[in-house]
Structure 1
Amino acid sequence: MQVMLHSGSVPRTSTCPPQSLRRPGLRPQRAVPAMVRVSAVMSDGDKRFEVEFTPWLIVGLGNPGNKYHGTRHNVGFEMIERISQAEGISLNTIQSKALIGIGCIGEVPLVLAKPQAYMNFCGESVAPLAVYYRIPLRHILLVYDEMSLPNGVMRLQPKGGHGQHSGIKNVIAHLDGHSEFPRLSIGIGNPPGTMDVKAFLLQKFSSVEREQMDEALDQGVQAVRALVLNGFSQHIRRFNLGQKYKYHKV
């Protein structure tokens, strides 16, 4: 099978990731990227079997710095790190106020990102990265913590609202009010008793909760891989159903 990269109207042979998704360095200037379209064609050139790939932007929401490492509010960062490790994608470039890595899952190119502005300003990274790499809304996946779900329970959706999540609100605002992008929410549970919400979000997990979260992150990597390769297929519906009844005992 031959992989072709189409930029404008001039195709050229390429391997994943394509050249237009490999732009190292700080604050690229005056770059006008072409729309990226990657296609796989059978070696005999039979166009009937051509498959096109649109890149993905996968963004984990969190706060930078050791102070926030391992806290409930940073599980989005943890998921990006797990995907990075599983797929061999190095997070080694700063662009648009985010630490990014460029690689692929299978033949599908993607950009992994951890915004380095704080949670309330993460849209300052998401929108410019999406514009720079010409990634459509339907391929911007946000990964974030969700208090309405039990600890370690996840939900993968093609779109939704902000659910009062400050990071999601900021992303939507920077995407001109559009919210039609996929999201992977990772449950962290609710604050116990009268505990302050902010204190709860910046708290680290108990040993039991940490074990649940580590298992969930591994499951999340598999779900993200299935989404990138096959879209919102039956596999994703089964994943969501399994997560819904994750802790139910028969």
Structure 2
Amino acid sequence: MYLIVGLGNPGTQYARTRHNAGWMVLDELARRHSIDLTKKNFQALTGNGSIAEQRVLLIKPQTFMNLSGRAAAAAMHYHHIALDHILVVTDDLNLPLGKLRLRVGGSDGGHNGLKSVAESLASKEYARLRFGVSEPPREEREQRGTADFVLRPFSTDEWPLVEKTVGRAADCIETFIREGAAAAMNQFNRGDQS
């Protein structure tokens, strides 16, 4: 079984924000594979199904970003899922909008959701798919930091690229499940954001 975790924040006010890119990708996977992602379990919305003839559990933690790891760890332990069958989808300010980066292991990059996952799983050796959301303009970043920026919705002008990237991220996860992390990294890490 594969565990695919989308990081985000609950509440309709966050639905189309940069910080909820992970949830957008899980919603697309659920749509493509007719997975009902509404069951409440492990402090998350969950959905069981099949992708590439493999059993999958999709989860959207409902604990807010900083405690996302609780849901991931609970699902992993309950279903006895190996670390190499876990993929976490998250937003990334350090990547331009539209860029994807899949990696196994590594740092949390200052992302509190990834930090929570690593702490709760007691390991950093899981796959993470970073969804580029760009960073705020320098002046805004210096005055207000990044918290306000990631909780703002994508602009109307950005939305076509967001939708395209959500689709590419879902394709990447399907490749990860079907062919493994190395194949997915080779195919999607070098792709441009257009």
Please confirm whether the aligned pair reaches a TM-score higher than 0.5, indicating the same fold: yes
Q: C-alpha separation between the residues in 1 aligned to 2:91 and 2:148?
A: 14
Query: Considering only CA atoms, is the larger Rg found in Structure 1 or Structure 2?
Result: 1
Which residue of structure 2 lines up, in the alignment, with residue 156 of structure 1? 102
1:165 paired residue number: 111
The amino acid that maps onto 2:82 is P
Q: What is the alpha-carbon root mean square deviation over aligned residues?
A: 1.2
Task: Name the CA distance, whole Å, in 2 between partners of 1:88 and 1:150.
Answer: 30
Distance 2:19 2:104 in 1: 22
Matched, 1:114 2:60: yes
Shift >3 Å, 4+ stretches: 233-236
2:93 to 147, 158, 166: 147
Match of 1:30 in 2: none
Matched, 1:191 2:140: no
Contact 2:101/2:185 (<8 A) preserved: no
Which amino acid counterpart does residue 149 of structure 1 have in structure 2? Answer: L
Q: Give the fraction of aligned pairs with identical amino acids, expressed as a percent.
A: 35
TM-score normalised to structure 2 length: 0.94
How many residues end up aligned between the 2 structures? 190
- RCO higher in 1 or 2 (8 Å CA, sep ≥ 6)? 2
1:112-167 per-residue CA deviation (whole Å, 9 max, x = no partner) reads 00000010011110101000011011111000000000011111112221000000
Long gaps (5+) in structure 1: 1-54
Offset at residue 168 of structure 1 (A): 0.5
CA distance in 1, matches of 2:183, 2:3: 22
1:235: how far off?
A: 5.0
**Alignment match, 1:240:** 189
Instruction: Name the structure 1 match of 2:167.
Output: 218
Distance 1:238 1:117 in 2: 33
2:39 corresponding residue in structure 1: 93
